[in-house]
Structure 1
Amino acid sequence: MFTITTKGVWPKAIGADGYYLYDEGTDQIKWSGPSGNKSGYSFEGGTTEARLDGTEFTLGTFTHHNGWLDGNGVNEFDVDLKVNIVFDDGTTSDLSFRFHHNETDGDHNPDLVDLPSFISPETVKVDGAEYKVMISGFKQDGQIVRRFVSDEGGSNTADVVALFSRLPAKPDLVITDVRFKGTGKAQADEYVEFLNRGTEPADISGWKLGADDAGQNFTFPAGATVQPGHRIRVYTNENHPEWGGYTYGFNKAIWNNQGDVARLHDKSGKSVHAFPYGDKA
């Protein structure tokens, strides 16, 4: 474990034709329509502990100051962020990321922020090894999500969560969460969450998720792939396309409310990752 300090600036917006831009090259960037009402982003860095084993850490805090804008025919554009990281030995690296902004139509529709480029093009060298830095999502309402949803008329904030992914590039699928206490009858909304923390797509065709009990294996279908930095979930008996659409389709609870171990095996049967959960674990 080591300490890093981060600081971010917003050098430019791309495709924001018709908007007036303000404060480019600082830790905040704003835009407005003809009325002068402003919206914008800010990024607050800080000091945090980080590891090189794929463990996620907070890169900084992202805020969307969401003011009402009069329409100018352009709803979507990109905004670039440059983050400077200073390591505790004094070495420094600059990283580049791109955010995609959607102003949406209507007075009450939330704006949307996506991450079309979540892997920095730059390479970071630590202790003689090379890494890419990957944004794995926004931590919003206690969950790490790819899309930041920003309600109109206020400032909405989320931590930007990142990790170091070691080169050479390869996939690295791990279990990140088990929701083992669902709600309602048969706990249909239980799920297991996975993250590909590598910089290459993970082909998981034929891989199995097991709950350590006979008859409770889930096999991923042919063509199942997890892109770098993406999360998927396997639900007990719900279908969520935004999380990959995977479900056991069982009408009974799977995951032990007292705790156990969720296990992931590749198609050869080799154990890839184990995730203890709950009090029993």
Structure 2
Amino acid sequence: MSKITTSGTWTAITPAPPGVSGLNTSHISWGTPAGGAGGKSGYSFSGGTVEAEAGGPEATLGTFTHQNFPIFGNGVDRFDVDLVVHIRFEEDDKDRDFSFRFHHFETPNTGPSPDDEVDLPTRVSPESVVIDGESYAAVITGFKRNGEIVNKFLSPENGSNSADIVASLSRVGVPDVVISDVHHKGGVKYTQADEYVEIVNRGTAHADISGWHLYADDPGQSFVFPPGTTLKAGQRIRVYTNEVHTEWGGYSYDSGRAIWNDKGDTAHLSDGNDELVSDYSYGIEAEDDEGEGEDETY
């Protein structure tokens, strides 16, 4: 592990809504205020200093904030906002720049889904850095808010909404699929249908996981990913015990009983050749590990 220090600037917005200001700063804003207590809407990025490792676990790249207020956009309700993250590595005290594109949907403020949406059409930076002879790029793997990492950021109206941007520094052209979480205490009585295992591709290339197996140690607890299943670079999916959530891929064991032992268990992920790719232990099964939830990759 080594320390990195991050900062960021917003460099472009396309197509541009009216009233754009703050280009090439850490806070960009847009729109004509529609009245009330708020002003323009906008994004800000706040960096910091964190421990990170090339090819290692995810780390916090910085904090993303959306100031979301009612505005007039002159018909421009979908646009892209470009961010350049400056990363200074402690070892050589040099800045490297990595760029990302945020896709914004300024939703109608009335109706069933009034929250604005922020997504990343491409999660891998086009820039790379050479470390120990290998090329690495930065990969954003989600927005962390209230302890949960999600693929898409939903932003309620009339306030400032923040989330940490979680990222990894990964080898160029290589997928890196790991089990990132086991949610083993479901809220549905008896069946715990809302249990899930979360899997993330923190690599820079898409991974074909068709025929891969997710399983526990007991018979009948194996899930096989169907043909044509691709886990995109930076994407997270979940396999639920007996629920279907399309925003997480729509995968389910379709099991009428709980799968994951609340006292402790280990989730395993193997590829189509039955080679172990990753496992994740928690509870009593993690007592010999450095800490609960430590994943191992192979």
Determine if the TM-score, normalized by the shorter chain, exceeds 0.5.
yes
Tell me the distance in 1 between the aligned counterparts of 2:128 and 2:55: 16
Pair 1:213–1:69, CA change in 2 (3 A): same
Tell me the distance in 2 between the aligned counterparts of 1:81 and 1:71: 21
Q: Is the 8 A contact 2:109 2:157 kept in 1?
A: no
Alignment of 1:263-274 (within 5 A): 263-274=268-279
Consecutive aligned runs of 4 or more in structure 1 exceeding 6 Å deviation: none
SS in 2 for 1:242: helix
1:99 matched to 2:102? The reply is yes
Q: Is the 8 A contact 2:31 2:73 kept in 1?
A: no
Tell me the distance in 2 between the aligned counterparts of 1:228 and 1:81: 18
Tell me the distance in 2 between the aligned counterparts of 1:178 and 1:117: 26
Aligned residues: 279
Alignment of 1:183-194 (within 5 A): 183-184=187-188, 185-194=190-199
Task: Tell me which amino acid in the other structure corresponds to 2:13.
Answer: A
Alignment of 1:245-256 (within 5 A): 245-256=250-261
The percentage of counterpart residues that share the same residue type is 54
1:124 corresponds to which of 129, 143, 147? 129
Alignment of 1:39-188 (within 5 A): 39-89=41-91, 90-107=93-110, 109-167=114-172, 169-184=173-188, 185-188=190-193
TM-score, length-scaled by structure 2: 0.90
Return the offset for 1:141.
2.2
Q: Is the 8 A contact 1:68 1:107 kept in 2?
A: no
- Runs of 5+ in structure 2 lacking a partner? 287-298
Return the offset for 1:106.
2.2
Q: RMSD in angstroms over aligned alpha carbons?
A: 1.4
Tell me the distance in 2 between the aligned counterparts of 1:133 and 1:116: 15
Residue 23 of structure 2 is matched in structure 1 by 24
Q: Is the 8 A contact 2:43 2:67 kept in 1?
A: yes
TM-score, length-scaled by structure 1: 0.95
Deviations 1:63-84 (A, max 9, x none): 0011110252111111110111
Q: Is the 8 A contact 1:107 1:152 kept in 2?
A: no
Task: Tell me which amino acid in the other structure corresponds to 1:176.
Answer: S
Return the offset for 1:166.
1.1
SS in 2 for 1:22: coil
Task: Tell me which amino acid in the other structure corresponds to 1:51.
Answer: E
Q: Is the 8 A contact 2:29 2:41 kept in 1?
A: yes
Pair 1:27–1:276, CA change in 2 (3 A): same
